[in-house]
Structure 1
Amino acid sequence: MIMTLTTTHISPDWPCQVKMPGSYDWERSAAKWLRELVPTRYASYPVLLRHPVLLARHAQLQVQQEIRVARTALQTARADLPRLGLPESVIEHTIKLYAAEVLQLQHIARSVRTVTEALADHSTAR
């Protein structure tokens, strides 16, 4: 007997902390992951807990704001940090840190968008 192997295409942006859509308890895992991306006070609002797609929307906004902050920090570091009396080696390290943070946040933003789309598709399918 020949068995065929079937695979499901998993987006490279899908977060490993979130179960695949359609699997048992996947929405709960998505909500748990999303709560980690927003300030604690938002993560406890009942409407956001009851509607993960709203939580996802807020997480998108939160991550976009963090990207703006990290970009501003990166763009102004070379001018602002010397005035704080920091040595050049610390400034260079800080610039690399901000650049890496922007890349990481951009990846998180893509992951949040992917999860948001799955949550929205799931809520409209009900």
Structure 2
Amino acid sequence: MSHHRTPVSNDWPYSVTTPGNRDWEGTAVRWLRELLPARYAGYTTLTRHPVLLARHAQLQIEHEIRAVRVAMQTCRAELPTLGVSGPTIENTIRLYALELEQLSRLARGVRLVTDALLRSGQPPVRQARVRP
């Protein structure tokens, strides 16, 4: 089976082959792991359960979006007190705006990959039984 890279939508990650292609789940897992801090690569619970990995990637991106929004909203008030010049502050705001666009695009990609993983029959994550 060939590796098609025809996206499911414009937000489908380029490095993830489309569902139905050989090893598409493997490409999805590799892409999702790249979205997380490197230290998460050692957590086999995440790497063995693609849907759990996708959920964590979505949460990570949502937190990054919140952090960038706070940074953007507060930089005009806080950066002058740190000695940052006006032009640098405006460049920083533009940087944050671009980062928000990129993070939003990544979040949409993660949602698409998650939906595809769920449709492909990835087993749901089992809940550990709590013993009394």
**What TM-score, normalized by structure 2, do the two folds share?**
0.84
Q: Which residue of 1 aligns with 2:53?
A: 55
User: C-alpha separation between the residues in 2 aligned to 1:85 and 1:69?
Assistant: 22
Q: Does 1:41 align with 2:16?
A: no
Q: Which amino acid aligns with 2:34?
A: E
Q: Work out whether residues 33 and 41 of structure 2, in 8 Å CA contact, stay in contact via their aligned partners in 1.
A: yes
User: C-alpha separation between the residues in 1 aligned to 2:11 and 2:60?
Assistant: 18
Provide structure 1 residue ranges, at least 5 long, that are not aligned to the other structure: 1-7
Superposition deviation, residue 124 in structure 1? 5.3
User: C-alpha separation between the residues in 2 aligned to 1:9 and 1:101?
Assistant: 22
Q: 1:75 aligns with which of 64, 73, 76?
A: 73
Judging by fraction of residues, say which structure has more helix.
1
Superposition deviation, residue 121 in structure 1? 1.0
User: C-alpha separation between the residues in 2 aligned to 1:9 and 1:81?
Assistant: 41
The alignment-based identity, stated in percent, is 57
1:1-126 equivalences in 2 (<5 Å): 10-123=8-121
User: C-alpha separation between the residues in 2 aligned to 1:79 and 1:124?
Assistant: 47
Provide structure 2 residue ranges, at least 5 long, that are not aligned to the other structure: 1-5, 124-132
Which portions of structure 1, spanning 4 or more consecutive aligned residues, are displaced by more than 4 angstroms? none
Q: Work out whether residues 50 and 122 of structure 2, in 8 Å CA contact, stay in contact via their aligned partners in 1.
A: no
